[in-house]
Amino acid sequence: MAKQEDEVILLDFWASMFGMRVRIALAEKGIPYEYREEDLKNKSQLLLESNPVHKKIPVLIHNGKPVSESSIIVEYIDEVWKDKAPLFPSDPYAKAHARFWADFIDKKLYQIGRNLYTTKGEEHEAAREEFISCLKLIEGELGDKPYFGGESFGYLDVSLIPFYSWFQAYETYGNMIIEHECPKLIAWAKRCIQNKESVSKTLPDLEKILAFVQHLRKRFGIDE
Amino acid sequence: MNDEVILLDYWASPYGMRVKIALDEKGVDYECQAENLQNKSPLLLKSNPIHKTIPVLVHNGKPICESLIIVSYIDEVWHDKSPLLPSDPHQKSQALFWADYIDKKIYDVGRKVLWEKGEDQEMAKKESMEGMKKLEGELGNKRYFGGENLGFVDVALVPFTCWFYSIETRGNFSIEAECPKISSWAKRCVAERESIAKTLQDPHKLYDYYVKLNP
């Protein structure tokens, strides 16, 4: 149960779409927390102790107890602070359906998106096609609803919207214009930014992410 | 309540076994439809158009996919009997974390031991053992991962144990020697839970099937 004097710490990295999910969930619930930026080349003792298995961000530390893996953290937040802005539907089937699509985003969209800016030649062309197919499937799931959650912003919206901050990077290195391929998805993203302060305050500028990806490519020698 | 529960499955799939164990633990009546993965049924293709994989649970006509999501669903819908996930949110997050770890580090890596060769296989063997040892640490001296009773993590991991024999034989190592606590936990599960004893496939039968596919 949430106590009067909750101590909530988030170990995170500014550009991580997984970290952004947690920041958005915390903001939706109005939970005060301490944000700690990690240097991924020099991870803090607290991070290594809190997530000894994967040593990755984000990690939420609630009254000294760590929770890892962004989807699991968002679910945890939704359960503990259940009185405000519920993210999951209460119906078990709708809940399973939301989890399924969040899992799809994690397994497919993230890795294929990464391939867009780390591969060349045939591999890159394949990644480009897969990425567009992936986005179209996700757009199909949105349909004509204002949000993935229906009338309200929900778990799946939280899971996907951080990827929007990476879209300029995906477009540049994927050689595509996402609005041409998936106009409904772009409209949804803009709707989230316009209507949800938790989103507009959390998402970094798309140009900043693009610059970050440019820097990553240089660091891994991809731009040769 | 007149529930219609259908499970689309494949006999050798440890993912399918997770769902069967959960359904049995809850005493849910269901119809098992065995799929031919070379010739998938229209129901499977309609119920899981994205991945086209088993298992799929079809509950009163509505499909649920991905084994751990299905087990969570079963736990929520039939919540009155044999709860699998803890009710405390932090403990629940830990159970979900370890089940996710099992998918990424045990199943995926174990598959590599079976299907890769040379250096890739060697690396997979090493990762597999590291993963098992971490799990053994998490089990500690508990009866089950769930504590005194069978829990979500037990259901997530136990089907994989009937594939141990294939992995040990192909990889040329002994899981029992490296991880004795996991080995005794696996035997305890089969001895104490009927749902597990009747669901797990014979390890030798699985090995014969695997060797035909990958001589």
Q: What is the pLDDT of residues A123-158, one digit of tens each?
A: 999 999 999 999 999 999 999 999 999 999 999 999
Q: How confident is the model at residue A8 (pLDDT cuts 50, 70, 90)?
A: very high
Q: How confident is the model at residue A220 (pLDDT cuts 50, 70, 90)?
A: confident
Give the pLDDT of residue A177: 97
Choose among B70, B76, B93: nearest Cβ to A72: B93
Nearest CA to CA, how far is A207 from chain B (Å)? 32
What 8-state DSSP symbol labels residue B201? P
Give the pLDDT of residue A223: 72
* Distance in Å from the first CA to the final CA of chain B: 49
Give the pLDDT of residue A3: 57
Amino acid at A165: S
Among A65, A93, A109, A159, pick the best mutation site for testing chain B contact (most B Cβ within 10 A).
Answer: A93
* Phi, psi values for residue A121, rounded to 5°: 55, -135
Report long-range pairs for A123-129 (Cβ below 8 Å, ≥24 apart): A127/A174, A128/A174, A128/A175, A128/A176
Per the structure block, which two tokens stand in for A26? Answer: 């915390």
Give the Å distances, CA to CA, from B105 to A15, B98, B131: 26, 10, 6
Give the pLDDT of residue B1: 58
Judged by a CB distance cut-off of 8 A, whether residue A110 touches chain B is: no
Residues of A in contact with B77 (CB under 8 A): 92
Q: Which of A71, A169, A37, A44 is nearest to B68 (CA)?
A: A71
Amino acid at B188: R
Task: Test B93 with A80 for CB contact under 8 angstroms.
Answer: no
Residues of A in contact with B101 (CB under 8 A): 53
Q: In sequence order, what are the beta bridge partners of B31?
A: B6
Q: What is the pLDDT of residues B193-207, one digit of tens each?
A: 999 999 999 999 999
Task: Test B100 with A72 for CB contact under 8 angstroms.
Answer: yes
d(CA A184, CA A204): 22
Task: Test A62 with B90 for CB contact under 8 angstroms.
Answer: yes
How many CB atoms lie under 10 A from the CB of residue B19? 29
Give the pLDDT of residue B2: 77
* Phi, psi values for residue B55, rounded to 5°: -80, 155
Choose among B66, B77, B89: nearest Cβ to A79: B89
Q: Is the entire prediction scored with pTM above 0.80?
A: yes
Give the pLDDT of residue A4: 61
* Mean pLDDT on B89-102: 98
Amino acid at A27: A
Give the pLDDT of residue A2: 57
pLDDT at A1 over 70: no
* Distance in Å from the first CA to the final CA of chain A: 53
Give the pLDDT of residue A62: 98
Q: What is the pLDDT of residues B127-184, one digit of tens each?
A: 999 999 999 999 999 999 999 999 999 999 999 999 999 999 999 999 999 999 999 9
* Mean pLDDT on A101-117: 95
pLDDT at A224 over 70: no
Q: In sequence order, what are the beta bridge partners of A62?
A: A8, A65
Per the structure block, which two tokens stand in for A161? Answer: 């919207």
Give the pLDDT of residue B75: 98
Per the structure block, which two tokens stand in for A203? Answer: 């998402």
Give the Å distances, CA to CA, from B106 to B20, B144, B211: 20, 18, 20
* Phi, psi values for residue A191, rounded to 5°: -65, -45
Task: Test B90 with A137 for CB contact under 8 angstroms.
Answer: no
pLDDT at A84 over 90: yes
Give the pairing type, strands B5-9 and B31-34: parallel
* Mean pLDDT on B105-123: 93
d(CA A80, CA B89): 7
pLDDT at A222 over 90: no
Q: What is the pLDDT of residues A181-209, one digit of tens each?
A: 999 999 999 999 999 999 999 999 999 99
Task: Test A100 with B101 for CB contact under 8 angstroms.
Answer: no
Residues of B in contact with A100 (CB under 8 A): 64-66, 69
CB B10 within 8 A of CB B44: no
Give the pLDDT of residue A37: 98
Nearest CA to CA, how far is B129 from chain A (Å)? 14
Helix (H) or strand (E) holding A60: strand A59-62
pLDDT at B59 over 80: yes
How many CB atoms lie under 10 A from the CB of residue A174? 21
Give the pLDDT of residue A40: 96
Choose among B72, B89, B100: nearest Cβ to A69: B100
Q: What is the pLDDT of residues A34-64, one digit of tens each?
A: 999 999 999 999 999 999 999 999 999 999 9
Helix (H) or strand (E) holding A34: strand A34-37
Kindly provide the ipTM of the predicted complex, given to two decimals. Answer: 0.95
* Mean pLDDT on A16-39: 98
CB B164 within 8 A of CB B175: yes
Burial call A188-198: b when 16+ CB within 10 Å, e when fewer: bbeebbeebeb
Work out the widest C-alpha separation in chain A, in whole angstroms.
Answer: 56
Task: Test A93 with B65 for CB contact under 8 angstroms.
Answer: no
Per the structure block, which two tokens stand in for A22? Answer: 């947690």
